[in-house]
Amino acid sequence: MNTTSSSTFDVPNPLTPLAYLQPGIAAQVMIGTCIHMGVLGIVVWDALHNIRNDYLLATKHRFEMPMAAYFLSRIACFTYGIGPIPIVHCRRLELAVNSFLTVSLCLNTLLFYIRVCAVYYNKNTIALSFGLFWLATVGMASLVPRAMTATHIGPAKHCTEIIDTHSLIPTYLVFFAYDSAVFAATSNRFYRLYTLEETSLTGGMRVIFLVPVMQLGIVIGAFCFAVDTPGLVVISELVPVHVMLGNVVTCCVFRNTKLGLVREPVDHDFESSRGARVLAPGRG
């Protein structure tokens, strides 16, 4: 009687796939799933909250490469935010999800590259150095799908990720360095331009500190991305947070600048010397 009771207790419930995992891993899976659901909620809320501004961007401005990067980044982030679902072919689904992750990471960093070039009026040294830096992030992002795979949880159709975090350490470090460089460059540029203007710094505090502080959130997210706990999890707990934060901030900066919702300082010396070439679309 005792033997029968013990064996019955040890048989997992097929309706709860987490029963096939060790208790520690199952808890990590639940935390990651809750984080992923929260991230998806924020992405949806941000899209709905800015649907009017996105409509103005699509209808009132020329559809060029930066605009395409903006909308594609939002689509890729949303698609990645949906995450894995119960399916027969876990590896194929994981490859598809991680492909959107790679696209989202590349486009997020591209939007910040466009931002840095705009802030420095396409200065050759800035465009070249950050351009090479951006290409490095693209190369590192392309390694993400190869470091992640997926398998079924026991006999269930639910999938769980297997992540080789050690092979992703170079990717973590490159993104951390890139986000830090963008934060430092834009903060320094805005501070110098506002100190050159006759008006006080009070009017430009939002541009000097708000946007760079939001970018600092990307830096912190990248650092958390780098110290993510290795192991077998359904969703890597901090990767969705980093991707969501990066997408929300980069799109906010691009959207507000494009629509003129934020006043930024002007380099009058540059305008007087180079005139019509000041960030004119389709020129230079």
The pLDDT assigned to 48 comes to: 94
Positions in the chain whose pLDDT score sits under 50: 1-9, 200, 204, 207-212, 215, 222, 225-235, 275-284
From the options 1.20.81, 1.20.1070, 1.20.950, 1.10.3470, give the CATH code of 22-271: 1.20.1070
Taking the C-alpha atoms of residue 26 and residue 37, their distance in angstroms, rounded to an integer, is: 17
Q: Which two tokens stand for residue 17?
A: 């796939």
- Residue 90: the pLDDT is 76
Task: Please tell me the predicted confidence (pLDDT) of residue 93.
Answer: 78
* Matching residue, tokens 């958390």: 224
d(CA 181, CA 173): 12
**88-136 pLDDT, tens per residue?**
677 777 788 888 889 999 999 999 999 899 888 888 999 999 999 999 9
Identify the pLDDT of residue 258: 87
State residue 98's pLDDT score.
84
Write out the DSSP string of 154-185.
TTSS-EEEEE-GGGGHHHHHHHHHHHHHHHHH
Task: Give me the phi and psi of 233, to 5 degrees please.
Answer: -140, 155
pLDDT at position 265 is: 58
